[in-house]
A and B are shown apart, each in its own frame.
Chain A
């Protein structure tokens, strides 16, 4: 039986952060209730096409999934348990925001089978949190973390954001050290650098000239520092921005990087399923109307039937995000062609530039290659 990941999107938040370009917004209580109702219907209906799969990861993301009633989350997981072939020890993650989760909620999550939390700390400094437009402060985070741990969660990821306006390598190090000093230590740390996305208030402020943002050189220094600092704390880097303690890599995210199948439910959720990529409508009223009518197929937009070329390209550019890189054997197994037949000249060129290296079965980016990964990955488009 093939394995499958399920992604569930909760597009709500208390207030949009200033840098955020994800599909997320504050919404009235009645719309949220209607949405959850439709989401449950969509998940139930989706079970038929997934009947040949074993679900081994579930990821509830957002938005801020913790703004909705924890019992609704438990209901959703109940539906999955009832209708899908859930693996024995699945990884079930929920993203949570320190300002919106309490002990009571964590108890319900744990009971519902959730065994991994991803907490959007971003920064332990209140002034940085304010700058980002986050709704929480450090004190709230600390309470949240304590509640999660005391409820019984042991697999917890902390998100941290670097390259913030005014940030220096030293102040970034303080943030890293803070995360590592938590009791107990988080099992996983995601360290992203801030990206100024079009259409956000940050773009208005920093889009034109990057005045106020750390320089490209400082940004790279922070990244390199992250790896060094976290290594001494027992974390290994397994993806461009992700660090894990032994045995705690995020299995659901690995599915994306390894081009394994996943199905997304809810507004705008993306899927890679049965050789196709698609996403649900991003329009709330369309979503609730179609889902209300039971027309779940009509939710899916931009359905792309991936041909071999597209599959090979994605296998490469997603796989190279992993520090271990892509497997030469796996490539041959999937596509029936040797990787060097397809990408021989690209690989040779990038190796010559010391951006790529080959070790036994694996082709991976070098440290220098990781810094300019877009440049390298674009080369793998055929």
Chain B
């Protein structure tokens, strides 16, 4: 393929609120530029992870190159960089944006501007991207494109009167979008003769080629055979292959010049050596300074991961090792629990990240997992003046040794129709939110700003938000910092034995309510035994709630099915099998379900 001048290159991304049709639009653009025939198109070309497809969200950013012959008769190269659509992956989003020169903002013609629309568009503007809007889903009967255009101009403040009207689903208006890319997204302006300076915006691990690093070349040329290094990690290697992104495949080429987007491989074994945000340069002719904005992402949410079958611990370890190859933000270390045996304490960017990893372990590695309640990282200030990060509630020192504790706080923005403002404010109140402000963006919609403790939103905050607003509220947050808080450790005792895997940290005002709900839920999960089982919640040795599982009086098969002993055998085998899946705590057998269900203490229960 002929090399393109920078003036014929457009590097952009698509930003949108979840479900506004970003992926579908991307698919249509790829289809229209003719890189793929309709037959080759899978439903959503960009989202190639199974989980992403099922959840309809994009987790790992990816890129694709297309060639578009514009109305002016010229051929243009489009590098479309797909950004993750969830707050958990905020840093990855920001690096993806940094690799672009412009952005397409997709807004649903029926829903209008939502919280993530705002958050994403501001993020794009922060990165000095030129943004043009596209109104999607105009085929829906409830579409109101003119109002939405006005909303975009009023709320976001970007021009929208000539925004392309599109139905990505039906494929209408796509040509218009492509022309807008040519005219409204600026061409890159790198210096090809300067020393190499390229931004890593993503990477994947391939067992044959090692880490495949996704880069945007700012200045200079990246070519095969050169010795390149990462400026933050300091690692260097000989570049084995460079290339660009075909849809769902890597296409090698000779070099990537300033303004290009592509990938390189260099037999890199460890993904930590080429982290997102790092700057790649040439060892022989390094650039004077790295691109700004690199930071090492720290896990925000921790939980214990245990194999349901204790014998499969080595398999879980291998699976985590493999997942980490592809996910530099996944953290784990071995831990042991009296209740659950050998397992790992794992750290994640957020709850979605946790769920995704959990699902991948279960699906791709066929592991049955027991997950303990997710918790955030607390800062424990001890009386001896030392401070440490608490990721596992079991490690909380004796209260006498604790001076005070701090918990992470987020800045939350909730966009909601005015009808539900009251309900949402009440929810934030219940979650220990601190009210900051209300801004009305139009007559019927408001943005509520709250500071919320992270540990109050990692459980079921999204669900609660949706149910209390009938789906009309959208939420976005960013970490604000740590604040001192009155935190206590809530312990659960089953038949008078403390179950370490069920302990967690909670604000002291919420301890009673939480303890009561836990006991109630556990009562429903623990099968009757031959003896009565007390279930207690305790804070610092003081019992605050109690439930009792009554003793089993009957477990008998009255009839004997004539001579059909096989049937009787199957029944007993099922019983024995069920027992195997239980965890023994003292003399009580607890089904694994119990450990999971207490994570979901829905309101109203």
Contact = CB atoms under 8 A, between A and B. Distances in A.
Contacts of B568: 317-318
A256 B558 contact: no
A313 B553 CA distance: 24
Given A378-B579, A381-B576, A7 B563 contact: yes
A372 interface: yes
Nearest to B575: A378
A188 interface: no
B557 A220 contact: no
Given A192-B559, A374-B571, A220 B566 contact: no
Which of A7, A269, A371 counts the most B-chain CB atoms under 10 A from its CB? A371
Interface in A261-300: 262, 264, 269-272, 277, 279
Contacts of B564: 270, 279
B566 A371 contact: no
A373 B565 contact: no
A321 interface: yes
Interface string A304-333: 100000000110011001000000000000
Interface string B26-52: 000000000000000000000000000
A246 interface: no
B298 interface: no
B603 interface: no
A370 interface: yes
Residue of B557, B563, B569 ringed by the most chain A CB atoms within 10 A: B563
Given A314-B569, A378-B575, A381-B576, A216 B563 contact: no
B555 interface: yes
B327 to A, nearest CB: 42
B436 interface: no
Interface in B528-562: 530, 552-560, 562
Interface string B566-592: 101101110110010000000000000
Interface string A79-123: 000000000000000000000000000000000000000000000
Contact of B553 (A257, A318, A371): A371
A219 B563 contact: no
A164 interface: no
Contacts of B569: 313-314, 317
A318 B573 contact: no
The number of chain B residues touching the other chain, given as a range, is 20 to 34
B566 A378 contact: no
Contacts of A313: 569
A371 to B, nearest CB: 6
Contacts of A373: 555-557
B56 to A, nearest CB: 33
A276 to B, nearest CB: 11
Contact of A372 (B552, B559, B571, B576): B552
Nearest to A374: B555
A7 B569 CA distance: 20
A277 B576 contact: no
Contact of B565 (A195, A217, A270): A270
Contacts of A304: 566
A61 B560 CA distance: 13
B61 to A, nearest CB: 46
A272 B568 CA distance: 14
A175 to B, nearest CB: 15
Interface in B505-539: 530
Interface of B: 530, 552-560, 562-566, 568-569, 571-573, 575-576, 579
Given A219-B554, A272-B565, A277-B565, 16 more contacts: A192-B559, A195-B557, A195-B558, A216-B552, A220-B554, A241-B559, A253-B560, A256-B563, A270-B562, A304-B566, A317-B568, A355-B530, A372-B556, A374-B557, A374-B571, A375-B552
9 contacts: A7-B563, A240-B556, A241-B558, A241-B559, A256-B563, A256-B565, A372-B556, A375-B552, A375-B575
Interface of A: 7, 61, 192-193, 195, 216-217, 219-220, 240-241, 253, 256-257, 262, 264, 269-272, 277, 279, 302, 304, 313-314, 317-318, 321, 353, 355, 370-375, 377-379, 381
